[in-house]
Structure 1
């Protein structure tokens, strides 16, 4: 029996808003998505797929999707919007994503305190490119999606992780640090 042709799905996607001093879901926006994978992250399920308006992959929380329907439209091949060719590699995709944010894939270089080795291996896997920086730190090189989620993930480690490259990511980190300094009115 031949495998049935994969179809796009439509759904109304919602975000939380504040109404009368309470959080509730907004009216939502109708989307049509080519679904590629379901992912589990931080106790939430996500759908990784392509929103027909863009040439990339986005992530959608399943609990924010309402009125999900199968369409008659054929799925856009993931090879058109990602580096995956034969199959959608969910393990690799999750490893490159941070807090389920997606961005441009870039090669990053980080200097990390030696006490973060387990955190780095848990996130990037054992085949990650590592080198000794000095007796207190190591350098890691990885190809990841540069996004706000990556910046948040890096910020949680404070001065134990320093971005060495690319310059654009380093500048994002500096901007976030300056924004926090301003928020706390630290001069």
Structure 2
């Protein structure tokens, strides 16, 4: 049999054909495989294909051969990512607000290459990113990469922190750049945040990554290591509602028993919950950052949750409610 022009690439093209055109529901017979190889100008006989399939299995590709009628049908069994896992990743990428619509579509397209052409069709049907609220910062990939590099190199960073103006344009919050020591990246409430130490104020602060612009790695070493030795990221994010800062305060929330699940979902199972004096109610002790965001969350729960202590927080919440009533007169 004359050799094809791409004969040295036979094993590569065989793997490519099986990965792209087969899955648990779709297979190729030996004649099909020979025909597909011929499209790549690779000639082969059955015996050599059997040997090649064994070689592919030896290097970790799960090629399954099953009897179907008078032929054996070959297909890929398990993959690095199962279809259900890819669907989950597609949904996650589509939901992330900090990734632009353009980048989301590009990432999802790349994920489809990890499935067969038949499975890729199912993934593409899920591609409904258009119209969702997305960041407009196309450089966020590179911003995240720079932050990771700065953390790895133990360096400070500088950046412009942006905000929207009335003309719907992103403008710097202040003229001079922010200079901080980056320590952690975290995801909260559909946004990506940098947790950092601000030397000027001597405090841990956080910044939305999609609002950071013109980031630069500085020659200065990071500061604030002592603040992060016992840093509890979960506690920090639970305390900082909506990722707006504030000092941590222990607060007692009196909640209807049927609403206890809402409190546990928000603060986790390690909080203290005891029966309240009022039948059908419980008292939960939680640490929060007392802020407008916290009060807004409490307000949204209506008469099912009440701030019981400390008195200073109860008073601050009553003042906030009275200010709202006055505002709407």
Q: TM-score, normalised by structure 2?
A: 0.50
Instruction: Report the CA distance shift for 1:78/1:115 in structure 2 as closer, same or farther (over 3 A).
Output: farther
Aligned residue in 2 for 1:40 = 187
- Residues 142-157 of structure 1: matches in 2 within 5 Å? 142-157=286-301
Q: Offset at 1:4?
A: 5.7
Instruction: Report the CA distance shift for 1:43/1:66 in structure 2 as closer, same or farther (over 3 A).
Output: same
Q: Higher relative contact order by CA 8 Å / sep ≥ 6: 1 or 2? A: 1
Superposed CA RMSD in Å reads 1.9
CA distance in 2, matches of 1:67, 1:151: 34
- Alignment partner of 1:155: what SS? helix
Are 2:248 and 2:289, in contact at CA under 8 Å, matched by a contact in 1? Answer: yes
1:166 pairs, out of 310, 317, 321, with: 310
**Does 1:118 find its partner at 2:267?**
no
Aligned length: 176
Aligned residue in 1 for 2:323 = 179
CA distance in 1, matches of 2:304, 2:257: 9
- Residues 84-103 of structure 1: matches in 2 within 5 Å? 84-86=228-230, 88-103=231-246
Question: Which segments of 5 or more consecutive residues in structure 1 lack a partner in the other structure?
Answer: none
CA distance in 2, matches of 1:162, 1:175: 15
CA distance in 2, matches of 1:156, 1:78: 38
- Alignment partner of 1:99: what SS? helix
1:54 pairs, out of 184, 194, 201, with: 201
Deviations 1:71-102 (A, max 9, x none): 1112112434xxx534x322221122211011
CA distance in 2, matches of 1:155, 1:59: 25
CA distance in 2, matches of 1:35, 1:4: 10
Aligned residue in 2 for 1:65 = 212
CA distance in 1, matches of 2:229, 2:312: 28
Q: Offset at 1:5?
A: 4.9
Aligned residue in 2 for 1:25 = 170
Q: TM-score, normalised by structure 1?
A: 0.85
Q: Offset at 1:66?
A: 0.2
2:164 pairs, out of 16, 21, 33, with: 16
Question: Which segments of 5 or more consecutive residues in structure 2 lack a partner in the other structure?
Answer: 1-150
CA distance in 1, matches of 2:291, 2:225: 20
Are 1:12 and 1:66, in contact at CA under 8 Å, matched by a contact in 2? Answer: yes
CA distance in 2, matches of 1:34, 1:123: 29
Are 1:104 and 1:147, in contact at CA under 8 Å, matched by a contact in 2? Answer: no
Are 2:158 and 2:215, in contact at CA under 8 Å, matched by a contact in 1? Answer: yes
- Alignment partner of 1:181: what SS? helix
